Amino acid sequence: MATGQIFSKTTQALFYNYKQLPIQRMLDFDFLCGRETPSVAGIINPGSEGFQKLFFGQEEIAIPVHSAWVPFIEAACTAHPTADVFINFASFRSAAASSMAALKQPTIRVVAIIAEGVPESDTKQLIAYAKANNKVVIGPATVGGIQAGAFKIGDTAGTIDNIIQCKLYRPGSVGFVSKSVRDHFNSSCLLYAYPFKNEASTGGMSNELYNTIARVTDGIYEGIAIGGDVFPGRHFLIMSFALTISLRYNDVRPVKMIVVLGELGGRDEYSLVEALKQGKINKPVVAWVSGTCARLFKSEVQFGHAGAKSGGEMESAQAKNQALRDAGAVVPTSFEAFEGAIKEAFDKLVEEGKITAVKEVTPPQIPEDLNIAIKSGKVRAPTHIISTISDDRGEEPAYAGVPMSSIVEQGLGVGDVISLLWFKRSLPRYCTRFIEICIMLCADHGPCVSGAHNTIVTARAGKDLVSSLVSGLLTIGPRFGGAIDDAARYFKDAYDRGLTPYEFVESMKKKGIRVPGIGHRIKRGDNRDKRVELLQRFARSNFPNVKYMEYAVEVETYTLSKANNLVLNVDGAIGSLFLDLLAGSGMFTKQEIDEIVGIGYLNGLFVLARSIGLIGHTFDQKRLKQPLYRHPWEDVLYTK
């Protein structure tokens, strides 16, 4: 990034509080500018997680969505370390808290606050923190900013038609800063008829100046709308309105002249006056302070937003314009003459050879949306499925980005494939070996358990393999093989809360809940489940830590004092050891571990393993040509 620049063609942002239109406009601008990567890295939205489908030119992309509560902003920033801009579309009630949370993240460099009416005390705190930590705040009450041909914030510059008309898809030579971002009366107090489509939310006066500058110069290099509230972030970003932006533009080589649009109210423009008098700015400055019509009113008038009102003669538009003129800025006699003044300054620079002609480029065509383009054939149809675990579009399928051939060539096993497809990462060998052991030990448990029984009955009824398999799988639940997730969940909660085995078991008893993972219909304290012993032996020899398993063993010791059949069963062993696998590997966050347990990954391991045995029972019955099964009468209690 060049000296003095805030944004570049690689800048990426996190977008807070999902708004489809401004995000899509950012992505369309990216495509228009020929960016290789989308400028929106992630979305933070209340009550939402997953992915949001949007368009990047013709291609539909999935942008990650993170929960929007303030504590999760850190997680979102960690997930997207390349995003250094935080675009905050929260309401004025929550904008301050979320903006402060973003400023405290080491990866965030710029925060843009769109909301108008953020409490002044909150804004002052944001400004102070940003100033102390060398960060940038744009706003509140801002439409944002734009670097032509590189990056734009939200709705800046409005529609794609406006952007093309203003030639913002490629950089020009003008640095522009505006304090006034909302539609309001111009300096003559007449409603200005904009010659292009305009929207109040996209910065009326800023858009008008983009258009004006494009008509009489080679266009904008960068434009910033600092915000219209009484205390916008200008106090840090630009040290009293235009001063630091103007000084920054003075150091940005592609910027050859500076255009400033101020407004009545406040004294920010006077810092620019002092900089001009002291010779700190050596590039032409063309400025206009709007609101000259305020003198026509008998009482104080506020224009558009909180900051646009005069608090005395020195804050009037006339006084500011005269001060800027006296300091050496080019200040026209009216807003209507502003365009001519900009043109004259630009033409002079061209004549002096300080500006060379910009090579014009033809921007690419933005594909039309389906409902508009269906008749013309220019269609981009949305996809219906998002997949992040595998891709079959290349020469060979890939699991989590790993080609099939690589999996085979490296000699990876089923555990490694599960690692890629379930956890989307390559786990250490001891982890994948543990997964394989679980599959082997849980593949079957004889013909008498409910799952195998159902499969056998279905197969003997002449049903096909899939029907027989499914009939057995449907028996898996809290009473048969489906307690692994619950065992992991309860053991984890108890251990993390520091409960003793006594406290844990007795609290479950009071709730009327049996402890998942404890108890067996056949095994006893003096006849342990061999599968449990094998799993524990492997874990103690290979895992870096088995704290959850040891806690489960302590719980078993207590429950055995109650009854001899309350042993740690295979569900409890797998559940507790899988917690140790996830936590000990160092490859999962606490939130990811909770999600894995909550979604049902561990029960999935039992389902996968037992499917092997159920398929075996199906083949066994068909191979033996067993007839239709009928349950014997003597095994039924008939009663009224």
Q: How far apart are CA 38 and CA 19, in angstroms?
A: 16
* Token pair in block for residue 195: 């010659």
Distant-in-sequence, close-in-space partners of 202: CB < 8 Å, separation ≥ 6: 143, 155, 156, 157, 158, 159
Q: Residues 66, 184, 235, 305: which is the catalytic one?
A: 305
Residues in the chain: 640
In a 3-state reduction of DSSP, which class is residue 27?
helix
Whether the Cβ atoms of residue 142 and residue 88 lie closer than 8 Å to each other: no
The reply to whether 184 belongs to the active site is: no
Q: How far apart are CA 492 and CA 59, in angstroms?
A: 43
Q: How far apart are CA 156 and CA 3, in angstroms?
A: 23
Strands 257-263 and 174-178: parallel
Peptide bond between residue 232 and the one before it cis (omega within 30 degrees of 0): no
- What Rg value do the Cα atoms of the chain yield, rounded? 34
Q: How far apart are CA 4 and CA 9, in angstroms?
A: 15
Encode burial over 15-42: b for 16+ CB neighbours within 10 A, e otherwise: bbbbbeebbbbbbbbbbbbebeebbbbb
Q: Which of 390, 366, 387 is nearest to 378 (CA)?
A: 366
Whether the Cβ atoms of residue 402 and residue 426 lie closer than 8 Å to each other: yes
Q: Which of 328, 351, 593 is nearest to 485 (CA)?
A: 593
In a 3-state reduction of DSSP, which class is residue 427?
coil
**Residues labelled as active-site residues:** 305
